[in-house]
Amino acid sequence: MRTKLVDYIASHALFQPDKLALICQGQKLTYKELYNEISSYVLKLKAQGIAAGQTYLFKFHADVSCVVTYFALHQIGAIAVPLEKSLPDEKIGEYESRISNHGPFDETGLADILFTTGTTGQSKGVMISHDTILADAENLMIAQGFTSETVFLICGPLNHIGSLSKFYPTFMAGGTVMIIDGFKNQEDFYQALDYPSCKLATFLVPSSIRLLLLFSKDRLSQYKDKIDFIETGAAAISHADMMALCSILPHTRLYNTYASTETGIISTYNFNDGHCIPGCLGKPMKNSNIIITEKGTIACSGRTLMSGYVDLDMEVSRIGENVLVTSDLGYLDEDGMLHLTGREDDVINVGGLKVEPSEVEDVAMAIPGIKDCICIAVPHPIVGNTLKLLAVLEEGVELDKRKWARFLVKKLESYKVPLLYEQVDAIKRTFNGKLDRKAYRIKKERL
Amino acid sequence: MKERIRFLLEDALPLVDFDTDFLFSELDSLGIASILMILSEEYHITLDGKDATPRNFKSLDSLVSMVQKKMSDNK
């Protein structure tokens, strides 16, 4: 019985050993070769003392060895903790300590701990089980039509659910995963699309779609008969970009998906259906259910939910035992399709990556000369939102944005470091002294 | 021109070291896109994804060369 994703790789290695499983950094591995690599690495990890139930932290670079490490850990029964490749060492130490504070992991069948942004200024360690991974895989396979012919191109960070979750249906179906190192070189992206397959698929966050539309629209249109489907998600895509993509790629299925690390992959909508409904995220998939709470927030249930947070005292908003309540606001239309309308909390979405502003402010307050500060979102032509730090300075101190940015990046992931800085006389606060974030949101809307 | 480009880019991308000869590897996709947009706007030239090569983005000097070439192509 196959209870883990790696069991599917083992099965494909047996029944279709010469089928290509992985293309990455010039290397091509068949299922047989990939499974052999995983099996060899299992022995090495065991020799290092890694055993079932233990955690193993590693930076997930876009290379074969990291993919092999990930699945070897699963094979052993250990818990993979893939980290962002630019994560500062200080953060790694913090994560290690939080994991060790958890004590032995009794949760059933844990596969991964994924660190994501929390709403309390601290990244959340989300525990994911093997069953959740298989449920996500099945959801995507059925809803988006992954097959053994699918060649799925991953160009995003592999510690993030948006990219990592594409391993799930592709390897379950016996397809091919192709990985390129990021999206900054569009030439790499197009070279990958030149791969001889008519079942190419990829995941692009809305800001990557924006980049393609801005800088290589004509070139993208040359692939209109080649790209089987594109999935987007992690942030809201503008209706103008949805329409532009439909026009450039008229035969490609284009999915807008609702998912998060905590809820798993919940719903998806092919907006190239002739209607291109703005903000629509489709119907719940096979293993998921959606309800809207009285407050208007989206709540999810089903096998794709996380097992919990690694910090035992971190609050999980639930209804009963099995329904997880998110901070996303939305509604279900008369056809049962989900629509997203905003967020209930202060989290800022920067190109698909979520930033809790208080985490940035906590670090910024340690910069010498800053008396008070607030981190706000301002519109950006590519990523939708970018971060701006407004700061009140001590007398005689001057704003030095490059120095400040370099201070912040030592303690925060680079996407959490504001691009914009401004000196202000005072930070607006509410009557009880809390930062008046709503005042800055209103200001942003009026810009 | 070089100092003007440095000023514009350092202001837009405070984390990036523009004195390096490994500029391309320092940048992410947003950084590359920001540079293309800033230089297009400032010098009224057309830059697209094909211009974002490791060679053109090797250093501040190579960005200056790219702009100069585009400007002379426009004449």
- Please check whether residue A379 is in contact with residue A447, taking contact to mean a CB–CB distance below 8 angstroms: yes
Partners of residue B10 in chain A, C-beta under 8 Å: 402
Among A183, A215, A404, whose Cβ lies nearest the Cβ of B36? A215
A213 touching B, CB under 8 A?
Answer: no
For B3-42, the pLDDT digits (tens) are 999 999 998 898 898 998 888 888 888 889 889 999 999 9
A402 to B10: CB separation less than 8 angstroms, yes or no: yes
* Rounded CA separation B10/A152 (Å): 36
Cβ–Cβ below 8 Å for B28 and A414? yes
For A390, the token pair is 């407004």
Instruction: With CB atoms and an 8 Å threshold, state whether A404 touches B49.
Output: no
CB pairs under 8 A between A and B: 68
Amino acid at A147: T
A242 touches chain B (CB under 8 A): no
DSSP code at position B21 = S
pLDDT attached to residue A89:
81
> In angstroms, rounded to a whole number, what is the distance separating the alpha carbons of residues A143 and A372?
48
User: Is B27 in Cβ contact with A184 (below 8 Å)?
Assistant: yes
Question: CB A421 to CB B54 under 8 A?
Answer: no
Give the torsion sign (CA, A142, A143, A147, A152).
negative
**What tokens were used for A422?**
């401004």
> Sheet holding A420-423: strands in order across?
A370-380, A384-393, A420-423
Tokens describing residue A42: 């299992």
- Specify the number of domains making up chain B: 1
Q: Which of B23, B25, B30, B46 to mutate to test the interface with A (most CBs of A within 10 A)?
A: B30
Residues of chain A with pLDDT under 70: 117-122, 314, 320, 442-447
Q: Cβ(A427)–Cβ(A440) under 8 Å?
A: no
**Interface contact flag, B13 A421, Cβ < 8 Å:** no
Among A182, A151, A147, A137, CA closest to A7: A137
A417: nearest CB among B15, B31, B34: B15
Give yes or no for A219 touching B (CB within 8 A).
Answer: yes
Pick B15's closest partner by Cβ from A187, A382, A405: A405
Q: What is the pLDDT of residue A338?
A: 96
Question: Per the structure block, which two tokens stand in for A180?
Answer: 């390129």
CB contact under 8 A, A401 and B14: yes
Strand A176-179 relative to strand A200-203: parallel, antiparallel, unpaired?
Answer: unpaired
Chain B residue whose CA is closest to A350? B30
Name the residue type at position B50: K
Q: Per the CB < 8 Å rule, is B13 touching A351?
A: no
Distance (Å, whole) CA A429 – CA A85: 37
Burial of A438 (0-12, 13-18, 19+ CB in 10 A): exposed
Could you read off the pLDDT of A196-231 as tens digits, one per residue?
A: 988 999 999 888 898 899 889 999 999 999 999 999
Query: Cα–Cα distance between B28 and A122 in angstroms, integer?
Result: 24
How far does the CA of residue A204 sit from the closest CA of chain B (Å)?
A: 12
Domain A5-342: which topology?
Answer: Rossmann fold (3.40.50)
Q: What local confidence, expressed as pLDDT, does residue A122 receive?
A: 67
**Inter-chain CB proximity A382 and B33 less than 8 Å:** yes
Alpha-carbon distance A84 to A233, whole Å? Answer: 19
User: In the prediction, which pLDDT does A432 show?
Assistant: 76
Domain span including residue B62: 2-74
| Beta strand extents in A226-365 (DSSP E only) | 227-232, 253-260, 264-270, 280-284, 288-292, 297-302, 308-309, 318-319, 323-332, 338-343, 348-350, 353-355
Partner B contacted by A358 (CB < 8 A) = no
Burial (Cβ within 10 Å: 0-12, 13-18, ≥19) of residue A434: exposed
- Three-state DSSP at A55 gives strand
Select the residue from A185, A222, A223, A380 to test the B interface by mutation, using most B Cβ atoms within 10 A.
A185
Query: Which are the contacts of A342, defined by CB distance < 8 A and separation ≥ 6?
Result: A328, A329
Nearest CA in chain B to A212: B49
Query: String of b and e for A308-334 (b: at least 16 CB within 10 Å)?
Result: bbbbeebeeeeeeeebbbbbbbbebee
Using CA atoms, how far residue B18 sits from A289, A386, A387, A414, in Å, is 50, 21, 21, 17
The rounded distance, in Å, linking the Cα atoms of A182 and B13 is 18
Q: A383 — contact with chain B (CB < 8 Å)?
A: yes
- Residues in chain B with CB shorter than 8 Å from the CB of A207 are 29-30
Q: What are phi and psi of A148, to 5 degrees?
A: -70, -15
CA separation, residue A323 to residues A127, A290, A298, A329 (Å): 16, 9, 10, 16
- Determine the straight-line distance between the first and last CA of chain B, rounded to whole angstroms: 18
Q: Which residues contact A424 (CB under 8 A, 6 or more apart)?
A: A390, A391, A392
Site from A85, A180, A186 to mutate, B interface, most B CB atoms within 10 angstroms: A186
DSSP 8-state secondary structure symbol assigned to residue A238: P
- In our burial notation (b when 16+ CB lie closer than 10 A, e otherwise), range A222-254 reads eeeebbbbbbbbbbbbeeebbebbbebbeebbb
User: What is the distance in angstroms between the Cα of B17 and the nearest Cα belonging to chain A?
Assistant: 10
The owner of tokens 């948006």 is A162
Between CA A162 and CA A205 the distance in angstroms is 8
Interface of B with A (CB under 8 A): 10-15, 24, 27-34, 36-37, 47-50, 52-54
A425, burial (CB in 10 Å: exposed 0-12, middle 13-18, buried 19+): exposed
Residue appearing with tokens 């992690």: A234
CATH 3.40.50.1860 fits A348-446, yes or no: no
- Check residue A446 and give its pLDDT: 35
**CA torsion through residues A48, A54, A57, A58, sign:** positive
Residues of A in contact with B50 (CB under 8 A): 186-187, 216, 219
DSSP A322-358: TEEEEEEEEEE-TTS-EEEEEESS--EEETTEEE-HH
Q: What's at A331, amino acid-wise? A: Y
> How many Å lie between the alpha carbon of A121 and the closest alpha carbon of chain B?
22
Model ipTM value:
0.80
Q: For tokens 């190192």, what's the residue?
A: A181
Contacts of B47 in chain A (CB under 8 A): 215
Q: A348-446: same fold as A5-342?
A: no
For residue A380, the surrounding DSSP H or E stretch is strand A370-380
Question: In this complex, do B52 and A186 lie within 8 Å of one another by their Cβ atoms?
Answer: yes
pLDDT of residue A429: 86
Q: Where are the domains of chain A?
A: 5-342, 348-446
Query: Are the beta carbons of B30 and A417 separated by less than 8 Å?
Result: no
The CATH number of whichever domain residue B45 belongs to comes to: 1.10.1200.10
Are B32 and A184 in contact (CB < 8 Å)?
A: yes
